[in-house]
Amino acid sequence: MTEYYYPWQDIQWRSLVERRLQDTLPHALLLHGPGGTGKADFAAHFAHSLLCQQNGAGGLPCGGCSSCLLYAVDNHPDNHLIKPEKEGGPIKIDQIRALIADIGLSSHSGGDKVVIVRPAEAMTTAAANSLLKTLEEPPPKTLIMLLAEQLTRLPATVRSRCQRVPFNLPDNALAETWLTEKLIEKAANPDDAPRLLAMTHGAPLNALAGVEKDQLAHRQSLFEMLAGLAEGRLDPLKVAGKWLKIEQPVPIKYLHDWVSDMIRLRQVPGYFEKRAEYKKVLQLLSGDLEVQKLYIYLDRIAESRQLMTQLNPLPIIESLLIQWANIPKQKASTQG
């Protein structure tokens, strides 16, 4: 990003910088909120600010001191990032033990030491437990930042030892203004900003990533396949083969989003006008089909997303799409 922190993060940045100046910064922070709001960028840049030896106005790093130069090449020995060794995998106890040993050593330059753990929910129970004492009594001049989207997946013992910093979705007008500017910078269509934000439930960074991956076109293609399954025009097994070729878990995430929206369309007056793209499929699902069946299917999708990180995804996708194709038949049988 060209700005040092995103415009919707101004309050969080100013608050932490002020607390640092007053020497009241907590030793453990829990940055939490929806994905796509920039928590990881915020944490990285705040870490840079803490490590800088000559902070400028607003707590921004100078960019020229030895610490900044080390940080710029991702080689600062007092900057520790803990994340899963494999995408979607766990953060293991061995990683936390190694971290504890590292931060127990003296600082490289006599300054601060910073730890970022993301996503914190990925810590195994053993890893989380091994971090508890360090969260409560970290080495001097050490800040630990845990990043999480789902607080309930973190043990209460971990949550209670951190001060929370919420990162909510920005106001839609602010998000749309920011995204429009970014689309212009990328020579993309600025008129796509509202659709991209709707597609990502108002998460600006996810919306911007959607442009880079041409997700509007992918999303439309996937939705047309979904409609074809509901109408009985397409074979679930063939569609599953096509979905498997797309980066996972993107198709299943879209499926989860669509079914969630369909439930809202059935229950929230006026929501239909905002989701006209669902008209064809909704007509197939309307009438006597119980919303409860959609809730059951939504739970199945959530379970499948978890299983796909551990098992062969093809049979999981096949099962989901077969079940989806059968939903209109369930409606027909209840009417009969």
CATH code, domain carrying 98:
3.40.50.300
DSSP characters for 282-322? HHHH-TT--HHHHHHHHHHHHHHHHHTTTS-HHHHHHHHHH
151/299 Cα distance (integer angstroms): 19
Q: DSSP letter at 191? A: G
Whether 183 maps to a domain, the answer reads: no
Q: Is residue 227 part of a domain?
A: yes
Q: Final residue of a domain: which of 110, 142, 166?
A: 166
Rounded to the nearest 10 degrees, the angle between the axes of helix 313-335 and helix 215-231 is 50
Residue 249's pLDDT is what?
72
Q: Sorting pLDDT into bands at 50, 70 and 90, what band is 196?
A: confident
Q: Are 324 and 301 in contact (CB under 8 A)?
A: no
Model confidence at 331, in pLDDT bands (50, 70, 90)?
low
What phi-psi label fits residue 165: left (phi over 0), alpha (psi between -120 and 50 degrees) or beta?
Answer: beta
* Pairwise CA distance, residues 151 & 33, whole Å: 8
Does residue 297 lie within any of the structural domains?
Answer: yes
Q: For the segment 43-98, what is each residue's pLDDT rounded down to a tens digit?
A: 999 999 999 998 777 889 999 999 999 999 999 999 999 999 988 889 999 999 99
In a domain, 194, yes or no: no
The pTM (predicted TM-score) of the whole model is: 0.77
User: In angstroms, rounded to a whole number, what is the distance separating the alpha carbons of residues 257 and 231?
Assistant: 20
Q: Looking at the domain assignment, is residue 208 inside a domain?
A: no
CATH number at residue 261: 1.20.272.10
Domain boundary among 166, 182, 200: 166
> Are 221 and 147 within one domain?
no
Same domain (yes/no): 254, 127: no
Cβ contact 217:271 at 8 Å: no
The pair of three-digit structure tokens given for residue 263, joined into one six-digit string: 């439930």
| 72 lies in the same domain as 159 | yes
**pLDDT tens-digit readout, 144-193:** 999 999 899 999 999 999 999 999 999 999 999 999 999 999 888 898 89
Residues recorded for the chain: 336
Please give the tally of structural domains in the chain. 2
Q: Name beta bridge partners: 164.
A: 30
In a domain, 116, yes or no: yes
The side-by-side arrangement of strands in the sheet containing 28-32 is 79-82, 113-117, 142-148, 28-32, 163-166
Residue 276 pLDDT: 57
CA 238, CA 94: separation in Å to the nearest integer?
A: 42
Residue type, 162: C
What pLDDT is stored for residue 2 in this prediction?
Answer: 42
Same domain (yes/no): 115, 222: no
**Strand pairing category for 28-32 and 79-82:** unpaired
CA–CA separation, 93 vs 126, rounded Å? 6
Q: Is residue 173 part of a domain?
A: no
Residue numbers of the domain that contains 222: 213-335
Q: How far apart are CA 50 and CA 54, in angstroms?
A: 10
* Residue 192 is assigned to a structural domain of this protein: no
SS (H, E, C) 255-267: HHHHHHHHHHHHH
**Interacting residues of 22 by C-beta distance below 8 A, sequence separation 6+:** none
Mean pLDDT of the residues in the chain? 87
Radius of gyration from C-alpha coordinates of the chain:
23
Q: What does the pLDDT read at residue 235?
A: 95
Phi, psi of 259 (to 5 degrees): -65, -40
Residue 262 tokens, joined: 């369909």
Helix, coil or strand: residue 90: coil
User: Residue 331 has which token pair?
Assistant: 């409606």
Whether residues 111 and 37 share a domain: the answer is yes
In a shared domain, residues 162 and 218: no
pLDDT per position as a tens digit, 120-150: 999 999 999 999 999 999 999 999 999 999 8
